Amino acid sequence: MSFSALGLTGPLLTTIDKSDYSTPYPIQEAAIPAILAGKDVLGIAQTGSGKTASFVLPILQQFQKKAPASNRHIKALVLVPTRELAMQVASVFTFFSTNLSRKVKSLTVYGGVSINPQMMQLQGVEILVATPGRLLDLVNNKALYLSEVDILVLDEADKLLNVGFKAEMGQILAMLPTKRQNILFSATLGKDVHTITEMLLHDPVTIEITPDEEHFDDIKQIGYRVTEARRGPLLRYLIKEQGLRQVLVFTSSVHKADSVVHKLKINGISALALHSEKSQGARTDALRYFKSGEITVLVASDLASRGIDIPYLPVVVNYELPRSPKDFIHRVGRTGRAGATGLAISFVGPEDEQHFRVIQKKMGKWADMVESDTVNLRGY
Ligand code: AMP
């Protein structure tokens, strides 16, 4: 199957040819023709499935036939739960917009940074990628109008419908015109997502992409039994002794992420933290330095980690296990992508044993367990 067989044409195909996309991913095969046909779409898919291009490409193609929007009236609204995801989605829009004959201006807006520059950039924008709070601020400031929105995308809807966003989402949905195309992506189909799909989507094309079983076969999983006090030294030992590079470490709290980074640095390992209490600038820089290999370790708390796409990540370390098996699968799924073999290391304290068994059972894959108390950690 080729991208042209999905109904994409002209300049978009030229840009795809120049990209590293050779054939469409399954979600793209299913979603692109449906979106081009103006259908509502429900996609159960995670980051890594290729879901972003599956809505960006057909939306850009639809814009080729659209009349221009009135000033400050956007036509397509993409709602996302985090700033990182907002930037990623926006970069895909920008990349595929380069050669279009009818120019389409897209913009990303999110909180945590000054609102004024965003207000000024809104001039002429037709596609907006936004987090809910900042979108409402802009609408309330009359910097932006939603009355011409005819395409709505909810990306990572399960996160968007979290308690923290619920009221804001309700307000936004109430402001949109009723006649529009709705596209909703979610990693899971829980109760909240189910309710909103019933409410929002009309006769949707439903696409479910389950995490590829074989994909987990490309990931080597090792569980280290370790006591609390030895987690830090063990991490540093593994990084130094095994010469690990581009290591993504997960902690369960912001505080722990900061303290792990601090200890890595005083032991001569370059590291930065990525979490919700960092400024937007610091988060963007951390991700950039990590992607380019300028730092060895990125330590992320779960909240900030959702949706971050770093292709071909070699090593993921669960410094602390997440509470939910789904989050574990999501974390571990960041390695071993696209045919590359990945390594997923999990630190398992005595109190985590039972929980780790539950996680592995859910995943259907078992880690090799290593007793770390035989490892000499002196000097780490
Ligand atoms: P996403 O799930 O949208 O975050 O995409 C995950 C990764 O897959 C991104 O790095 C994309 O650039 C990449 N990707 C998406 N579609 C394709 C494709 N058809 N061929 C190769 N890479 C792709």
Domain boundary among 189, 209, 229: 209
Sorting pLDDT into bands at 50, 70 and 90, what band is 214? very low
pLDDT of residue 308: 62
Same domain, 228 and 110: no
Same domain, 226 and 202: no
Higher pLDDT, 213 or 47: 47
Q: Is 25 in the pocket of ligand 1 (CB under 6 A)?
A: yes
Same domain, 177 and 311: no
Q: Is 309 in the pocket of ligand 1 (CB under 6 A)?
A: yes
Same domain, 116 and 241: no
Kindly state the average pLDDT of the residues 324-328. 82
Q: Is residue 333 part of a domain?
A: yes
Residue 56 scores a pLDDT above 90: yes
Sorting pLDDT into bands at 50, 70 and 90, what band is 281? confident
Same domain, 174 and 250: no
Closest CA to 318 of 204, 221, 192: 221
Q: Are strands 76-79 and 151-154 parallel, antiparallel or unpaired?
A: parallel
Closest CA to 190 of 22, 33, 52, 44: 44
Q: Is residue 378 part of a domain?
A: no
The total of structural domains in the chain comes to: 2
Reading phi first (left if > 0) and then psi (alpha if -120 to 50, else beta), residue 112 is in left
Same domain, 61 and 152: yes
Distances (CA, A) of 219 to 243, 253, 357: 18, 25, 18
Residue 146 and residue 176 in contact, taking contact as beta carbons nearer than 8 Å: yes
Q: Is residue 126 part of a domain?
A: yes
Same domain, 8 and 52: yes
Angle between helices 10-18 and 83-97 (to 10 degrees): 110
Q: What is the average pLDDT value for the chain, to the nearest integer?
A: 90
Sorting pLDDT into bands at 50, 70 and 90, what band is 118? very high
Q: Is 97 in the pocket of ligand 1 (CB under 6 A)?
A: no
Closest CA to 126 of 100, 95, 149: 149
Domain boundary among 209, 237, 255: 209
Q: Is residue 380 part of a domain?
A: no
Same domain, 278 and 129: no
Domain boundary among 194, 209, 224: 209
pLDDT of residue 304: 55
Q: Is residue 149 part of a domain?
A: yes
Q: Where is average pLDDT lowest: 67-81, 168-182, 334-348, 359-373? A: 334-348
> If you take atom 16 of ligand 1, which residue's CA is the nearest one?
50
Q: What is the CATH number of the domain that holds 327?
A: 3.40.50.300
Query: Residue 279: which domain range?
Result: 215-371
Angle between helices 254-266 and 231-241 (to 10 degrees): 50
Q: Is 69 in the pocket of ligand 1 (CB under 6 A)?
A: no
Query: Positive or negative CA dihedral for 133, 134, 137, 142?
Result: negative
Same domain, 48 and 165: yes
Same domain, 190 and 255: no
Same domain, 199 and 81: yes
What atom of ligand 1 comes closest to residue 51's alpha carbon? Answer: 3
CA of 47 to the centre of ligand 1 (A): 9
Which residues partner with 250 through β-bridges? 300, 318
Q: Is residue 377 part of a domain?
A: no
Q: Is residue 379 part of a domain?
A: no
Q: Mind listing the pLDDT tens digit for each residue in 349-363? A: 999 999 999 999 888
Same domain, 164 and 195: yes
Sorting pLDDT into bands at 50, 70 and 90, what band is 176? very high
Tokens of 199: 């409410």
Q: Is residue 340 part of a domain?
A: yes
CA of 30 to the centre of ligand 1 (A): 15
Q: Which residues of 31-48 are buried (b: 16+ CB within 10 A; e: fewer)?
A: bbbbbbeebbbbbbbbbb
Query: Which of 1, 4, 28, 52 to mutate for ligand 1's pocket (most ligand atoms within 8 Å of CB)?
Result: 52
Residue 150 and residue 40 in contact, taking contact as beta carbons nearer than 8 Å: no
Q: Is 24 in the pocket of ligand 1 (CB under 6 A)?
A: yes
